């Protein structure tokens, strides 16, 4: 289910500028690093310097300035720095586990403590009543269009309520995963790990003087680099 969710997410991936980007699955950071200036995605590319080849990540609008028509001032980030940012964010999360985890669970728990089950039951009761009325009218060969419309509206309402509950459950699952990861870590993370990024990180935004790292659980942390 999680894999399917991820496939759907990536298929619908859009940049802040509304353009679709083709997802490249080779690097965990592909398609999750965004520009704080123009909202476009950062792309991995090579820089040839006198000192040798360096791998850097650059804002796509800036990289393709001629075709994008956007003169984005976003900085270029070396891959080494980007990896440092991820490691620092994960370690910040580990350091603050005692403060942020309870807070995160409480806020998600609040959302879950008022689930829509009561409202769904109300809608179900209304639906049942209307369906009986509809049958009566149909049997008496009376018009039942307005009742059919009301039933359709209620079904849509129920779909929305169930969808909200499913979203809350998905977020709680991500929080549990982060908690499990944190509990399984003996000490700080020492090196960059692609699997770690795929598992924990939702989005990285590049600003002029810092990065914002968003975890899949909803937790956000700033890293100054
Ligand atoms: Zn940009």
* C-beta atoms surrounding 77 within 10 Å: 19
What is the whole-number distance in angstroms between the Cα of residue 45 and the centre of ligand 1? Answer: 15
* d(C-alpha 202, C-alpha 4), whole Å: 16
Beta bridge mates, 49:
52
What is the whole-number distance in angstroms between the Cα of residue 26 and the centre of ligand 1? Answer: 22
**Digit-coded pLDDT (tens) for 131-164:** 999 999 988 888 888 999 999 999 999 988 888 8
pLDDT at 8: 58
* d(C-alpha 49, C-alpha 161), whole Å: 56
Q: pTM, whole model, 2 decimals?
A: 0.65
What is the whole-number distance in angstroms between the Cα of residue 164 and the centre of ligand 1? Answer: 33
Output the six-digit token pair for 19. 């353009």
What is the whole-number distance in angstroms between the Cα of residue 78 and the centre of ligand 1? Answer: 16
What is the whole-number distance in angstroms between the Cα of residue 64 and the centre of ligand 1? Answer: 10
Q: Examine the pLDDT at 1 and tell me if it is beyond 70.
A: no
Q: Examine the pLDDT at 183 and tell me if it is beyond 70.
A: yes
What is the whole-number distance in angstroms between the Cα of residue 15 and the centre of ligand 1? Answer: 10
What is the whole-number distance in angstroms between the Cα of residue 82 and the centre of ligand 1? Answer: 16
What is the whole-number distance in angstroms between the Cα of residue 206 and the centre of ligand 1? Answer: 9
């Amino acid at each position: 289910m999680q894999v399917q969710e991820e496939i759907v997410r990536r298929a619908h991936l859009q940049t802040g500028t509304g353009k679709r980007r083709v997802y490249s699955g080779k690097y965990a950071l592909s398609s999750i690093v965004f520009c704080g200036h123009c909202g476009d995605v950062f792309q991995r590319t090579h820089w040839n310097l006198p000192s040798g080849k360096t791998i850097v990540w650059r804002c796509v609008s800036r990289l393709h300035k001629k075709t994008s028509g956007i003169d984005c001032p976003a900085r270029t980030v070396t891959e080494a720095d980007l990896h440092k940012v991820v490691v620092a964010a994960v370690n910040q999360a580990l350091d603050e586990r005692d403060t942020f985890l309870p807070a995160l669970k409480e806020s998600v728990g609040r959302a879950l403590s008022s689930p829509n089950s009561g409202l769904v039951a109300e809608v179900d009761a209304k639906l049942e009543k209307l369906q009986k009325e509809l049958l009566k009218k149909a049997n008496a060969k009376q018009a039942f269009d307005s009742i059919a419309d009301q039933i359709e509206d209620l079904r849509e309402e129920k779909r929305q309520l169930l969808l909200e509950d499913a979203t809350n459950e998905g977020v709680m699952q991500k929080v549990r995963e982060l908690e499990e990861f944190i509990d399984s870590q003996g000490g700080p993370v020492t090196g960059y790990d692609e699997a770690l990024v795929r598992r924990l990180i939702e989005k990285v935004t590049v600003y002029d003087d810092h990065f914002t790292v968003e975890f899949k659980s909803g937790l956000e942390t700033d890293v100054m680099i």
